[in-house]
Chains A and B, each alone.
Chain A
Amino acid sequence: KQEVTQIPAALSVPEGENLVLNCSFTDSAIYNLQWFRQDPGKGLTSLLLIQSSQREQTSGRLNASLDKSSGRSTLYIAASQPGDSATYLCAVNDNYGQNFVFGPGTRLSVLP
């Protein structure tokens, strides 16, 4: 059974810092991996989707990498801003694209 973990559970940084969020999964036979953002009391917003054949994806200040063989993904946020404060979740689809498993999330606070 696929299990997804995220470290750290919470992170507080001053504005302007670069930071890395980590996601690990137990079964490397995945179809793709997605990073989501969740603001308090809101739904999830997809940030980046990485296919199993890809190594990384970039969108603005965000860069996500994937090392399928080691079961790891990282989300790099450059020049963090207070508006980046939210919970970040990663989710994996299994090799058939039929099973969706989410990690518990990392709660990020960027202090002005």
Chain B
Amino acid sequence: DAGVIQSPRHEVTEMGQEVTLRCKPISGHDYLFWYRQTMMRGLELLIYFNNNVPIDDSGMPEDRFSAKMPNASFSTLKIQPSEPRDSAVYFCASSYIATDTQYFGPGTRLTVL
């Protein structure tokens, strides 16, 4: 398997624009996680899915953030409108079960000007 795939790897956008981050989990993994990493706050769990259903979105910072998982092989994290404070590295991870080892993607580095 190619591992968890994320795109784009880098995104630079201007404040107010819509940003969509994409993730393809490892085939067969039932859980998908979205994380955000910043110098100030470290690695934070934003939301996770089980069998395409959102289980816990309590980490989503505000209504500007939304995540979907239309099928087992694809998920998106959308920010609309984006703000400079959203600048961070966003990671997607997947696992067989919630308590198993998580496999991380390479991340998307987002810069909002």
> How long is the Cα–Cα vector from A103 to B44 in the complex, in angstroms?
10
- Whether A97 lies near B42 (C-beta < 8 A) is no
**With A43-B105, A43-B106, A103-B42 given, is the CB distance from A97 to B99 under 8 Å?**
yes
- Whether B104 lies near A43 (C-beta < 8 A) is yes
> How long is the Cα–Cα vector from A89 to B98 in the complex, in angstroms?
18
Closest chain A residue, CB of each to CB of B9: A41
Q: Write out the residue numbers on chain B whose beta carbons fall within 8 Å of the beta carbon of A45.
A: 104
Q: With an 8 A cutoff between CB atoms, is A61 at the interface?
A: no
- Whether A102 lies near B33 (C-beta < 8 A) is no
Q: With an 8 A cutoff between CB atoms, is B102 at the interface?
A: yes
> How long is the Cα–Cα vector from A44 to B91 in the complex, in angstroms?
9
Main secondary structure of the interface of B (DSSP, over half): strand
Give residues of chain B (66-113) contacting chain A, Cβ–Cβ below 8 Å: 91, 93, 97-107
Minimum Cβ distance to chain A for residue B34 (Å):
11
Q: Write out the residue numbers on chain A whose beta carbons fall within 8 Å of the beta carbon of B103.
A: 46
Q: With an 8 A cutoff between CB atoms, is A93 at the interface?
A: yes
Q: Which 10 A-B pairs rank lowest in CB-CB distance, beginning with the nearest?
A: A43-B104, A97-B99, A102-B43, A44-B104, A46-B101, A97-B98, A104-B42, A43-B106, A100-B45, A31-B99
Q: List 29 A-B contacts (CB under 8 A).
A: A31-B99, A34-B101, A34-B102, A36-B104, A42-B107, A43-B4, A43-B91, A43-B93, A43-B104, A43-B105, A43-B106, A44-B43, A44-B91, A44-B102, A46-B101, A49-B100, A49-B101, A89-B43, A91-B43, A93-B98, A97-B97, A97-B99, A98-B56, A99-B45, A99-B56, A101-B45, A102-B43, A102-B44, A105-B42
Chain B positions within 8 Å of A, measured between CB atoms, are 4, 33, 42-45, 48, 55-56, 91, 93, 97-107
Chain A positions within 8 Å of B, measured between CB atoms, are 31-32, 34, 36, 42-46, 49, 89, 91, 93, 97-105
Known: A99-B56, A102-B43. 8 other contacts (CB 8 A): A34-B102, A43-B4, A43-B104, A44-B102, A46-B103, A93-B99, A100-B45, A100-B48
